[in-house]
């Protein structure tokens, strides 16, 4: 098994049977071997630096009904909110003062935020903070919309593919959502010139080891600049309320494999990882991650953007989250930096 890790380290790819053997045959000892390599690769490209992104959850309205998601449209118990442009600009200013140089605008698929409104928001943020990067994470839109956002100054886009297997995709989403359309959006975004982030949940209902291998092969094919992965965590008001959550151990192993597969990729240690284990985000960095995403959303809306149960940091002010993260990273020998944190291939 260690030879397979060496092979992945050297060649940056493996055959699907080899990935499958690694995932199925993983042991704590093998994981430690993998993480030594993944940390080494990470160190080569990014040193001890950890990039920070300020996450602004600006709307929890969504027209979609993904079976796993706490803010899906059928969840009538959610108190819905939208931040105004002024609210968003205040979040950015607070973030800027705290050293953030990337803002991630994330939300449900909310048609209230027309292209025109979003272009205005992007332009206003850029006017005030021309040295900052803007990442959008607002789901599937048309080519024209993506182009308008890009031309307005948004340079990154996060759109997890969720699973690279079409059958599995159908088990996680209602029939109007398809893997084909998700993938088309990702290739479209790339072609427009966005730095693109794909990704998936680990341990989502019905997921098999073969599916995880397909996820890795899709990452190799798409060559995204970022890969966001985190454990699936059930939300009590969704169809998947009774499903088991994804494991910390498997999520960390997948992070390690992704670092070897795409050495220069931006790899966040996610909030979901911190939710299933108090030290999850530290462990994600030690498995090869190099990005953290503290929350910049106003505290008044934090507990309304509940994608899954027991989400952490819902009561904390932006400054608390930022300094908490700094301490956590320092405790394992890393440092958060004031930087846009572009992918090394673009610097
Ligand atoms: N609407 C945008 C989209 O679909 O890309 C962005 C918001 S969506 C809530 C962001 C991500 O949250 C999804 O890509 C999904 O992987 C993750 N997510 C949703 N529900 C989750 C759950 N129950 N457990 C873990 N992650 C979840
Ligand atoms: Fe739309 Fe989750 S179903 S953000």
Q: Which domain holds residue 120?
A: 16-341
pLDDT score for 53? 97
**Which residues partner with 271 through β-bridges?**
none
Say if 58 falls within a structural domain: yes
pLDDT score for 130? 97
Q: What is the pLDDT along the chain (347 residues), one digit of tens a residue?
A: 999 999 999 999 999 999 999 999 999 999 999 999 999 999 999 999 999 999 999 999 999 999 999 999 999 999 999 999 999 999 999 999 999 999 999 999 999 999 999 999 999 999 999 999 999 999 999 999 999 999 999 999 999 999 999 999 999 999 999 999 999 999 999 999 999 999 999 999 999 999 999 999 999 999 999 999 999 999 999 999 999 999 999 999 999 999 999 999 999 999 999 999 999 999 999 999 999 999 999 999 999 999 999 999 888 889 889 999 999 999 999 999 999 999 988 77
138 Cα–ligand 2 center, Å: 9
pLDDT score for 344? 84
Residue 177, ligand 2, Cβ within 6 A = no
Say if 273 falls within a structural domain: yes
pLDDT score for 194? 97
Q: Does 182 appear as a known binding residue?
A: yes
pLDDT score for 94? 95
Tokens 């048309």 map to which residue?
142
In whole angstroms, give the CA distance from residue 167 to residue 169: 5
Q: Does 160 appear as a known binding residue?
A: no
Number of domains in the chain: 1
Say if 113 falls within a structural domain: yes
31 Cα–ligand 2 center, Å: 33
Say if 8 falls within a structural domain: no
Say if 3 falls within a structural domain: no
Say if 10 falls within a structural domain: no
Q: What is the CATH number for 224?
A: 3.20.20.70
Instruction: Report the nearest atom of ligand 1 relative to the CA of 201.
Output: 16
Say if 213 falls within a structural domain: yes
Q: Does 66 appear as a known binding residue?
A: yes
Residue 109, ligand 2, Cβ within 6 A = yes
Say if 1 falls within a structural domain: no
């Amino acid at each position: 098994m260690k030879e397979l890790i060496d092979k992945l380290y050297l060649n940056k790819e493996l055959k699907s049977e080899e990935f499958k053997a690694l995932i199925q045959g993983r042991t704590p000892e093998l994981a430690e071997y993998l993480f030594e390599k993944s940390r080494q690769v990470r160190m080569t490209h990014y040193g001890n630096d950890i990039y920070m992104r300020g996450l602004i959850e600006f709307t929890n309205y969504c027209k979609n009904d993904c079976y796993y998601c706490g803010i899906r449209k059928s969840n009538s118990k959610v108190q819905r909110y939208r931040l105004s442009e002024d609210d968003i600009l205040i979040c950015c200013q607070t973030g800027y003062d705290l050293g953030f140089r990337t803002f991630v605008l994330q939300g449900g698929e909310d048609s209230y935020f027309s292209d025109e409104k979003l272009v205005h928001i992007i332009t206003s943020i850029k006017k005030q903070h021309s040295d900052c990067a803007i990442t959008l994470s607002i789901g599937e839109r048309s080519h024209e919309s993506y182009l308008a956002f890009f031309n307005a100054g948004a340079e990154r886009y996060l759109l997890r593919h969720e699973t690279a297997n079409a059958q599995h995709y159908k088990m996680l989403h209602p029939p109007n959502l398809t893997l084909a359309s998700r993938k088309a959006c990702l290739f479209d975004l790339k072609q427009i010139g966005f730095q693109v982030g794909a990704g998936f949940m680990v341990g989502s209902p019905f997921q098999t080891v073969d599916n995880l291998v397909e996820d890795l092969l899709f990452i190799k094919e798409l060559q995204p600049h970022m890969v966001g992965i985190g454990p699936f965590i059930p939300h009590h008001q969704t169809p998947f309320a009774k499903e088991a959550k994804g494991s910390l151990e498997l999520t960390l192993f997948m992070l390690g494999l992704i670092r070897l597969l795409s050495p220069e990729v931006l790899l966040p240690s996610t909030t979901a990882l911190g939710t299933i284990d108090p030290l999850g985000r530290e462990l994600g960095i030690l498995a090869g991650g190099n990005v953290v995403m503290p929350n910049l959303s106003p505290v008044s809306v934090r507990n309304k953007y509940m994608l899954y149960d027991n989400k952490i940091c819902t009561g904390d002010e932006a400054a608390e989250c930022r300094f908490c993260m700094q301490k956590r990273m320092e405790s394992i020998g890393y440092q958060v930096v004031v930087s846009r944190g572009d992918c090394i291939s673009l610097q």
